[in-house]
Structure 1
Amino acid sequence: MTAGPGPSAAGALADLLALCAERPVWEPHPERAFDDPPPGRAAPHARPVRRSAVLVLFGVLDDAAARTDHPAVAADLDVLLTRRSPTLSHHPGQVSFPGGGIDPADAGPEAAALREAQEETGLDPSGVRVLGTLPPLPVTVSRNLVTPVVGWWDRPSAVAATDPAETVDVFRVPVADLVDPGRRVTTVLRHAGHEWRGPAFDADGVLVWGFTAFILDRLLDSVGWAVPWDATRTVPAPV
């Protein structure tokens, strides 16, 4: 996929629309993916699988351009991220996309992602254009089957952490900086004799890793914005 002559926000939007139309960025995961527990953990068969959605929101979010020049990504293209409260039972303190469980009253993953984003960051959902969804992904440790909802911020609104018990920070990250090879590393998590490795991003001293980094890594690759980086550079997972 190409964004036309030179990187631009309009070209990025076209790339994301094409990505959502083509699907999948990864193979769909059925609920039986939860039958195999993560390394070192017992299978929590007593708990039902929870269906959730996250909002992967792109747009020209502020006046601060990326520090990194990138041939395929506009300097003013950003993605919205949050940092979870350190007191939460699952994924405490991790950087994440806004989102949460799909309630019975929600019309679907798109509605749930917008509702949760509004509750967590205060954004005005009427200014968000939903571009599509990506195949659901399992988060086995919390038994969540998560649908990423890709959005474009047509009319950005003020955002901030609205509930410190759930979210402690809301911030915008230039996409061109995320794909800078100097800001990319592999996280290593060792537990009970097992080892897990995954992609990670240094967002101005904040490590984006785990589930959120996996989505970003695969999305950036699939949309054609990623550049080669040294996956042998490792850091321990901050747990």
Structure 2
Amino acid sequence: MIPDRPDRPGVNVDLHPAAAPVWLRPMFDDITVEVPLVKPEQEEVPPPEVRHSAVLMAVAGDPDAQARPRDARILLTHRSPDMRSHAGQLAFPGGRVDPTDVNAVDAALREAWEETGLQREHVTPVAQLPQIHVRSSARPVHPVVAWWHTPRELYPASEEETDDVFTVTIDHLTDPANRLTVGWGDWRGPAFYVQDYLLWGFTAGLVAGALTHAGWDLPWHSERVYDLRATLDKCRNNEATFRR
């Protein structure tokens, strides 16, 4: 399914941190990069053959609240179980930075439009976080935080990539009952129960880091480690790596 309205490449690609409501700013204060990513062919380090990706962390909520409001929420997608990579995982909208993208912000907004129908004029990019490398591919990923000032109903606009699109409240993510640590072999990482899915891996790490930096963490039993495969068996991710 193609979104009803076309995207507008190259539009709304600058960062405007002052546009974020007061309660959202702790998520990115003091950790944003100053210069958005240039086009991949202009990068010298890492080498140009390294493919960059960008993800959009779109956050909505009461714009007039001083403290984090109860309706503060963030956009997530469920990747189709038939995808070649990260199949069945919960993720932020995102994907590869193309040569035609102005910067990582442009790429994140384009990918969000392609996957969920999100119109870029409905958000304001407020921060670009330092790049993170995905453990499985070592690919640098550039997280972009956006203030979703005009929330609209979204949907799986690219069913080959995404089969579910929804928001989850920050209150749900900080609730200790929804948090756990999962392990697979010698790997350990944070995870969250979300709508009968398991949020884990790169996206869960990004969420956990954002909650901690914002000072929104509540005490939870992080020291107990649950087997990742056994935990996924109880959830509806249907991840290709762990199908029996």
Tell me the equivalent position of 2:61: 60
1:84 deviates by 0.5
Query: Are the structure 2 counterparts of residues 24 and 127 from structure 1 closer, same or farther at C-alpha, using a change threshold of 3 Å?
Result: closer
Cα distance in 2 between the residues matched to 1:230 and 1:122: 37
User: What stretches of structure 1 move > 4 A for 4+ residues in a row?
Assistant: none
Tell me the equivalent position of 2:22: 14
Q: Deviations over 1:5-60 (max 9, x none)?
A: xxxxxxx83243354341169xxxxx9xx9xxxxxxxxxxxx94210100011103
- Structure 1 residues 212-221 or 72-81, which shifts more? 72-81
Tell me the equivalent position of 2:137: 142
1:23 paired residue among 18, 31, 35: 31
Question: How does 1:86-105 map onto structure 2 within 5 Å?
Answer: 86-105=81-100
One-letter code of the match for 1:59? A
Cα distance in 2 between the residues matched to 1:125 and 1:139: 26
One-letter code of the match for 1:52? S
Query: Are the structure 2 counterparts of residues 48 and 141 from structure 1 closer, same or farther at C-alpha, using a change threshold of 3 Å?
Result: farther
Tell me the equivalent position of 1:234: 225
2:200 paired residue among 203, 206, 209: 209
Tell me the equivalent position of 2:110: 115
Cα distance in 2 between the residues matched to 1:18 and 1:232: 26
1:212 deviates by 0.3
Query: What TM-score, normalized by structure 1, do the two folds share?
Result: 0.76
* 2:179 pairs with 1:171: no
SS at match of 2:107: helix
SS at match of 2:52: strand
Tell me the equivalent position of 1:49: 50
Tell me the equivalent position of 1:158: 153
One-letter code of the match for 2:157? T
Q: How many corresponding residue pairs?
A: 197
SS at match of 2:114: helix
CA contact (8 A) 2:24 2:68 kept: no
Query: Are the structure 2 counterparts of residues 81 and 163 from structure 1 closer, same or farther at C-alpha, using a change threshold of 3 Å?
Result: same
What RMSD over aligned residues (CA atoms) do the two structures have, in Å? Answer: 2.5
One-letter code of the match for 1:101? R
CA contact (8 A) 1:50 1:143 kept: no
Q: Deviations over 1:126-165 (max 9, x none)?
A: 0101111000000132342100000111111221001221
Cα distance in 1 between the residues matched to 2:145 and 2:171: 18
Cα distance in 2 between the residues matched to 1:114 and 1:229: 34
CA contact (8 A) 2:28 2:214 kept: no
SS at match of 2:222: coil
Cα distance in 1 between the residues matched to 2:190 and 2:127: 24
